[in-house]
Amino acid sequence: MSGAPLTRRGMIRTLVGAGVAAPVLGVYTWQIAPHWLEIVERGLAIRHLPDPLIGKKLVQISDLHIGPQVDDNYLLDCFRRVRELAPEIVVYTGDFISRYYDYAVRVERMFPHLPLGSLATCGILGNHDYGLNCIEQKVASHVASAAAQAGIVVLRNKISEVAGLQIVGMDDFWAGRFLPGLALRGLDRQRAAIVLSHNPDTVDCAGWNGYEGWILAGHTHGGQCKPPFLPPPILPVKNRRYVAGEYPLTGGRSLYINRGVGHLIQARFNVRPEITVFQLTKA
C-alpha cells in the first residue's frame, strides 16, 4: 500500500516541525526533566509493625550524586521539600556523592543540609560512595563519617532499630561489601523489619536467610531515559527486569526501586527524579 506523495509544502512543514521539536526535546531532556522532581506517595505494608508507627511517614532519598554534575540549588530545593513533609523516618539508599577531585568540599558544603526524620534517619553507601572503580575505602569512610556527623545512622551490614522497626542496611554490592549473612545476623524475624540495599541485583544473590519483607533500593535511576512503551536502553544492572517501582520477589520479599534524585549525566527523558514517601501500614 503506498501513501499520498509528499508535496514540497508538506516536506517543508515536516522539516520545520522537526527543526522545532529537536531543540525542544533537547531542552526538556537536558534542563527540565533532570530537575523535575516527583514526590511519589504510596503505602508500605510491614508485618508486625508496632502500632505507634502505623500511619507514619518514611521518606526514601536515593542517588543524590552530590558533585559537579548535579546543581546544588536543585538538591537544596529537594531537601526543603522533604523537610516540608515532616517525615518521621528518612532513609538514604546510597550514592550520596559522585567522586570528583573536590568531593570533600562538596560533602562539607551539602551534607549539613541533608533532611532528617523526626524519629530516625538511616543510610547506606552506594557504589559511587566508594570512589573510582568502587575501591577507594578512604572515600567511603569519609562519606560515611560525614553522613554520621550530619545525623544519619550509617548502616554497613548492620541493623538499627526505630521504635520497634528493624532497619537493615546492606553495604554496597559493586564494592564487594554486600554481606547479607552479616547484616541479617541478629535480625528478629518475629518483629517488623525493612532492608536497604543500593543495588537491586542484590536481591538475586544468596544469603537472605529467609528474610521476608520489603527491600528498598536505588542505583538504576530508572534508566534516566526511556522511550515510551520500551525499556530504557542503559541500565546498570545484570537483571534488566529491575528498572523502577515495585517488584514482587520469591520468598515473601518485595522490592522497591527508587528512580533517584540526581544523575551522572544530566539527561532524563520520560523518567523523572523521585523522592518516595511511604506511609507505613501493618501487613
Specify the residue, 93 or 157, whose C-beta has the smaller distance to Fe ion. Answer: 93
Query: How many angstroms separate the CA atoms of 67 and 129, rounded?
Result: 11
Binding mask 199-218 for Fe ion (x = CB under 5 A): --------------------
Specify the residue, 63 or 201, whose C-beta has the smaller distance to Fe ion. Answer: 63
Query: How many angstroms separate the CA atoms of 203 and 49, rounded?
Result: 22
Residue 63 in contact with Fe ion, rule: CB under 5 A: yes
Specify the residue, 57 or 65, whose C-beta has the smaller distance to Fe ion. Answer: 65
Specify the residue, 46 or 244, whose C-beta has the smaller distance to Fe ion. Answer: 244
Least distance between Fe ion and beta carbon 163 (Å): 29
- In sequence order, what are the beta bridge partners of 196? 169, 216
Specify the residue, 88 or 95, whose C-beta has the smaller distance to Fe ion. Answer: 95
Residue 95 in contact with Fe ion, rule: CB under 5 A: yes
Query: How many angstroms separate the CA atoms of 154 and 273, rounded?
Result: 23
Q: Which three cell numbers stand for residue 64?
A: 543524590
The kind and range of the H/E element at 265 are none
Residue 21 near residue 52, CB atoms below 8 Å: no
Specify the residue, 130 or 278, whose C-beta has the smaller distance to Fe ion. Answer: 130
Residue 275 near residue 262, CB atoms below 8 Å: no
Specify the residue, 114 or 165, whose C-beta has the smaller distance to Fe ion. Answer: 114
Query: Site for Fe ion (CB under 5 A): how many residues?
Result: 2
Binding mask 4-43 for Fe ion (x = CB under 5 A): ----------------------------------------
Find cell 532519598 and name the residue: 61
Least distance between Fe ion and beta carbon 283 (Å): 29
Residue 72 near residue 97, CB atoms below 8 Å: no
Specify the residue, 185 or 238, whose C-beta has the smaller distance to Fe ion. Answer: 238
- In sequence order, what are the beta bridge partners of 162? 165
Least distance between Fe ion and beta carbon 79 (Å): 17
Least distance between Fe ion and beta carbon 11 (Å): 44
Query: How many angstroms separate the CA atoms of 102 and 169, rounded?
Result: 27
Residue 187 near residue 168, CB atoms below 8 Å: yes
Segments in 130-199 forming alpha helices (H): 137-149, 180-184
Q: Which three cell numbers stand for residue 56?
A: 507514619
Q: Which three cell numbers stand for residue 216?
A: 528498598
Residues shown for the chain: 283
Least distance between Fe ion and beta carbon 128 (Å): 6
Q: Stretches 7-15, 21-29, 37-45, 94-102: which one binds Fe ion (CB under 5 A)?
A: 94-102
Residue 129 in contact with Fe ion, rule: CB under 5 A: no
Q: Stretches 61-69, 80-88, 161-169, 240-248: which one binds Fe ion (CB under 5 A)?
A: 61-69
Least distance between Fe ion and beta carbon 248 (Å): 24
Q: In the complex, which residues of this chain contact Fe ion (CB under 5 A)?
A: 63, 95
